[in-house]
């Protein structure tokens, strides 16, 4: 195995673990400083810089031969910004924003060689089954986010017109709708991220490329991007209310179009 292939495997493995650690700390609401995320990200960055250094020596300069190399360099820069920001602010939530972005950029750029994450043909069906299962679980969690957003808008409109809406039962309060939407989003978004990553691994092994840029896949990426914006704005800017509800509905619509196989 070449040294660059080994380094890329270490880079991807540590970035995946760092992103998982960030989501686990947020979902489980671990309040004390959780250093595993920045330590894993730092390990991944060290391996990433070593890879770039080897490639730089090989090409005799900055290793930016095409857009995939530029995206690789961008990913390293994003992780560096995350680590510096964490040291200065101690905001663990930054990992939830930065690290999934790095993962998605790596996988959709087709920057990785196909043999970075090799999967035996014997495990093709197992990987696909796992991919489908987490996709379904993620969609189910985001369905709850969608329902909470719709209820929020209905309740908000009723309160604004001073005519509370009832469908046989009293609707939950705006705070309750917002809380349910946020919690389910914090489960659904990492599952959607993992769905895109496992889909990329399957595609690289059995369809030769990590990301095929087909219309159906683009809908999934569009939903992921909108949900990423919502999470970022919620955690860093305190977004809530109608704006979040409308964006959530748009993201869920894109996800449903992907699930039923509509292509752009």
pLDDT score, position 263: 55
Alpha-carbon distance of 72 to 39, in angstroms, equals: 20
Q: Which two tokens stand for residue 247?
A: 């964006």
Alpha-carbon distance of 59 to 15, in angstroms, equals: 26
- Give yes or no for a contact between 202 and 127, defined as CB atoms under 8 angstroms apart: yes
pLDDT score, position 164: 64
Mean pLDDT by 10 residues, the chain (264 residues): 86 93 79 79 96 91 84 93 91 86 86 80 90 94 95 88 69 90 92 91 82 76 93 86 92 88 59
For the entire predicted model, the pTM comes to 0.83
pLDDT score, position 26: 77
């Amino acid at each position: 195995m070449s040294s660059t292939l080994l380094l890329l495997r270490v880079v991807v493995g540590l970035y995946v673990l760092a992103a998982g650690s960030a989501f686990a700390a947020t979902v489980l609401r671990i309040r004390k400083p959780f250093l595993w995320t920045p330590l894993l990200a730092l390990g991944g960055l060290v391996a990433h810089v070593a890879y770039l250094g080897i490639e730089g020596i090989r090409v005799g300069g900055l290793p930016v031969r095409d857009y995939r190399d530029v995206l690789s360099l961008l990913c390293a820069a994003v992780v560096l910004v995350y680590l510096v920001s964490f040291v200065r602010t101690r905001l663990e939530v930054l990992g939830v924003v930065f690290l999934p972005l790095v993962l998605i950029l790596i996988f959709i750029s087709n920057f990785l060689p196909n043999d970075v994450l090799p999967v035996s043909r014997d495990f093709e069906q197992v990987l696909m089954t796992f991919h489908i299962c987490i996709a379904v679980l993620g969609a189910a969690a985001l369905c709850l986010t969608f329902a909470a957003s719709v209820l929020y808008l209905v309740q908000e409109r009723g309160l604004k017109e001073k005519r509370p809406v009832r469908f046989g039962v009293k609707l939950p309060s705006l705070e309750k709708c917002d809380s349910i939407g946020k919690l389910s989003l914090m489960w659904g978004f990492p599952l959607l991220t993992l769905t895109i990553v496992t889909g990329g691994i399957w595609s690289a092994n059995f369809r030769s490329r990590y990301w095929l840029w087909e219309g159906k896949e683009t809908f999934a990426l569009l939903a992921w991007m909108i949900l990423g914006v919502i999470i970022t704005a919620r955690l860093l800017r305190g977004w809530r209310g109608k704006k979040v509800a409308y964006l959530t509905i748009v993201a869920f619509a894109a996800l449903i179009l992907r699930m039923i196989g509509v292509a752009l």
